[in-house]
């Protein structure tokens, strides 16, 4: 059987003929007679060559079309189809995952060690800390986040109070809503909410900023100038997150209590009654424990954000990947830390 | 021999950003099949002129006709059809980092043609083979060198057999050997495919090696200061800036 493509075998014609022509050559042995082709572009040439495979191909008589066919033949010969990537055996995949996990853990511990050593060195010579940078990060991570924390804290307090009022009303126990909301916010939720806000706002920003600097070789430039990137870039950020987190947690907690007070007022309980309940039930230790946890969350978020940025790879996706990784890891670390603290405080009888 | 028909006409093009004028009254023609070079020192507006030609930036004055159309004014299907007839290689390759080289080259085919996926892959491989990257089809842009990025950028720009290829600083940042290899590739493609090349560059060796004709822009003059064949400009230009540029001399104030 002889297949004779049309005289004009350009891109639209190749698109239309691709499936029928390759289907025909797959079914039986054919000869492709392209001697009548006078207009051939690269798509048409690739179609002829792919269809020819092991079949006979009579080239175009037109000199220009023949030259195009020959050029594309050489180009295709230089570009063999890529071999499908071999999937490793599932046992190997598990092994690689375990090794990667151990390696990743090792690198995290190593980074923590570097930061600890850097902090000790900084404590020995505190004048080397860039106070301007610390103040800038305090303002960006803290002051600029106050409004958002106050808004979300208030709404959170309103939601908590409303939701808990529904079952408590059945037992006439609405007066205990301040106890429930107050202890939740002070010991757990204030710090958690603030941590999520800090991770989303500042942790991602740290990762993106440092990853951009890494991609632009700014980190290497600092190192070659004899400036320790850890002291210059990482410690001010971590110090800022540690200092700012308890304040943000306090803002979320107080705003939440205000929101709860508003709901209680709508339920007929005046502010003095609510305050009296809070004073009777809450202790200074609850607040101190909550704020201590918040500072630890701040340390984790600062560490994770900076490490995500500094370990960023190359290419345009590096910055986005670093920011995403920082937010996800920060939130996971915060919840894990909170769980550890819950067990620890329970054991300590706090 | 009769001169080839012009494929690009720039008529009195000027551009300003706010109160800052980049250049004024730039006029030239590009003939079908030639390698036309836009040259000049840093900051003279070469890349801005390229963006005007390909329709990304409307000029403040004058007009640029590419294949008979003002690309900046075209909309909808007419614009898509016109864009399918040109290809652009950006200074850093501008390949999409999440796609491998073959997928990058196949992207314009996916947008502009009805080719089935297997056909797109085969054609993309062939285009990569044309620029000497046949064995790198499955590699990501982050995994290849600067010279390979530029070659892959050319392969993507050639995906649809465009009538005009615009190249922005193809030799910038490359070592002399890689740069010479890229020049040779441009000349081979020009000779074999008949594609018209518009090359923006300030690399002297490239200009002299590949350019059929050129224009020179100058920041101080605020526009075009010379037009002609590169070697003639080098040897016979009366303009001191042109002479200094070609002889790599420092201009005295």
Q: Would you state the pLDDT for residue B206? A: 87
pLDDT at B253 over 70: no
Model-wide pTM > 0.80: no
For residues B10-27, average pLDDT:
91
The ipTM of this complex is: 0.81
For residues B78-85, average pLDDT:
88
Q: Would you state the pLDDT for residue A108? A: 85
DSSP code string of A29-60: --EEE-TT--EE-HHHHHHHHHHHTTSEEEPP
DSSP code string of A107-137: HHHHHHHHHHHHHHHHHHSGGGS-HHHHHHH
What region, left, alpha or beta, does residue A316 occupy, with left being phi > 0 and alpha being psi -120 to 50 degrees?
Answer: alpha
pLDDT band (50, 70, 90) for residue A54: low
A8 close contact with B: CB closer than 8 A: no
- Per-residue pLDDT tens over the stretch A235-262: 999 999 999 999 999 999 999 999 999 9
For testing contact with chain A, the best of B96, B119, B163, B165 (most A CBs within 10 A) = B119
A232 close contact with B: CB closer than 8 A: no
Q: Would you state the pLDDT for residue B1? A: 45
A84 to chain B, closest Cα gap in Å: 10
The single residue listed with the structure tokens 């809070």 is A278
**Are B156 and A110 in contact, with CB atoms under 8 Å apart?**
no
A66 close contact with B: CB closer than 8 A: no
B224 phi and psi, to 5 degrees?
-85, 135
- Per-residue pLDDT tens over the stretch B212-247: 999 999 988 888 999 999 999 888 888 888 888 888
Give the C-alpha distances (Å, rounded to integers) separating A287 from A149, A195, A252, A280. Answer: 17, 16, 12, 14
Measured between CB atoms, which of B118, B125, B138 is closest to A76? B125
Please give the Cα distance from A19 to A51 (Å, whole number): 10
Q: What is the DSSP letter of B72?
A: G
Please give the Cα distance from B4 to B179 (Å, whole number): 29
Work out the percent of chain A whose per-residue pLDDT is above 90.
47
CB pair distance less than 8 Å for A316 and B128: no
Q: Would you state the pLDDT for residue A242? A: 95
Mean per-residue pLDDT over chain B, rounded: 88
**Are B26 and B9 in contact, with CB atoms under 8 Å apart?**
no
Please give the Cα distance from A337 to A296 (Å, whole number): 8
């Amino acid at each position: 059987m002889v297949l004779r493509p049309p005289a004009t075998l350009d891109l639209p014609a190749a698109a239309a003929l691709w499936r029928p022509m390759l289907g025909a050559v797959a079914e039986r042995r054919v000869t492709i007679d392209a001697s009548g082709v006078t207009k051939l572009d690269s798509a048409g040439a690739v179609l002829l060559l792919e269809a020819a495979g092991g079949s006979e191909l009579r080239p175009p008589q037109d000199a220009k079309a023949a030259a195009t066919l020959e050029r594309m033949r050489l180009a295709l010969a230089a570009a063999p189809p890529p071999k499908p990537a071999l999937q490793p055996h599932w046992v190997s995949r598990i092994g690689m995952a375990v090794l990667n996990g151990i390696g990743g853990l090792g690198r995290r511990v190593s980074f923590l060690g570097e930061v600890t050593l850097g902090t000790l060195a900084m404590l020995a010579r505190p004048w080397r800390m860039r106070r301007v940078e610390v103040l800038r990060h305090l303002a960006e991570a803290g002051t600029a986040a106050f409004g958002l924390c106050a808004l979300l804290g208030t709404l959170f307090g309103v939601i908590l109070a409303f939701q808990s009022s529904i079952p408590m009303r059945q037992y006439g126990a609405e007066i205990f809503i301040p106890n429930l909301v107050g202890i939740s916010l002070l010991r757990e939720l204030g710090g958690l909410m603030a941590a999520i806000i800090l991770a989303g706002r500042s942790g991602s920003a740290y990762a993106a900023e440092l990853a951009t600097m890494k991609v632009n070789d700014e980190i290497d430039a600092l190192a070659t100038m004899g400036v320790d990137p850890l002291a210059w870039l990482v410690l001010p950020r971590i110090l800022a997150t540690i200092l700012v987190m308890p304040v943000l947690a306090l803002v979320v907690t107080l705003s939440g209590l205000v929101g709860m007070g508003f709901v209680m007022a709508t339920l007929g309980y005046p502010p003095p009654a609510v305050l009296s309940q809070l004073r009777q039930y809450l202790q200074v230790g609850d607040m101190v424990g909550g704020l201590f946890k918040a500072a630890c969350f701040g340390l984790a978020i600062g560490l994770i954000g900076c490490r995500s940025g500094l370990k960023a790879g190359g290419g345009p996706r590096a910055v986005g990947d670093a920011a995403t990784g920082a937010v996800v890891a920060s939130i996971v670390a915060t919840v894990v830390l909170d769980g550890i603290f819950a067990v620890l405080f329970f054991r300590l009888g706090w | 021999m009769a001169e080839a028909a012009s494929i690009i006409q720039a008529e009195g093009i000027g551009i300003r950003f706010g109160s800052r004028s980049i250049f004024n009254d730039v006029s030239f023609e590009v003939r079908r099949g030639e390698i036309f070079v836009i040259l000049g020192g840093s900051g003279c507006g070469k890349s801005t002129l390229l963006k005007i030609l390909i329709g990304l930036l409307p000029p403040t004055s004058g007009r640029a006709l590419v294949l008979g159309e003002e690309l900046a004014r075209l909309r909808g299907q007419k614009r898509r059809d016109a864009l399918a007839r040109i290809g652009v290689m950006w200074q850093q390759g501008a390949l999409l980092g999440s796609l491998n080289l073959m997928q990058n080259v196949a992207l314009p085919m996916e947008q502009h043609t009805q080719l089935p996926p297997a056909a797109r892959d085969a054609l993309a491989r062939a285009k990569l083979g044309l620029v000497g990257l046949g064995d790198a089809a499955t590699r990501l842009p982050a995994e290849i060198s600067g010279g390979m990025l530029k070659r892959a950028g050319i392969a993507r720009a050639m995906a649809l057999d465009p009538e005009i290829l615009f190249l922005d600083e193809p030799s910038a940042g490359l070592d002399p050997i890689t740069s010479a290899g890229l020049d040779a590739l441009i000349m081979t493609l020009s000779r074999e495919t008949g594609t018209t090349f518009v090359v923006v560059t300030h690399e002297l060796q490239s200009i002299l090696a590949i350019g059929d004709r050129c224009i020179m822009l100058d920041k101080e003059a605020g526009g075009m200061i010379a037009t002609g064949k590169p070697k003639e400009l080098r040897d016979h230009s009366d303009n001191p800036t042109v002479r200094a540029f070609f002889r790599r001399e420092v201009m005295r104030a």
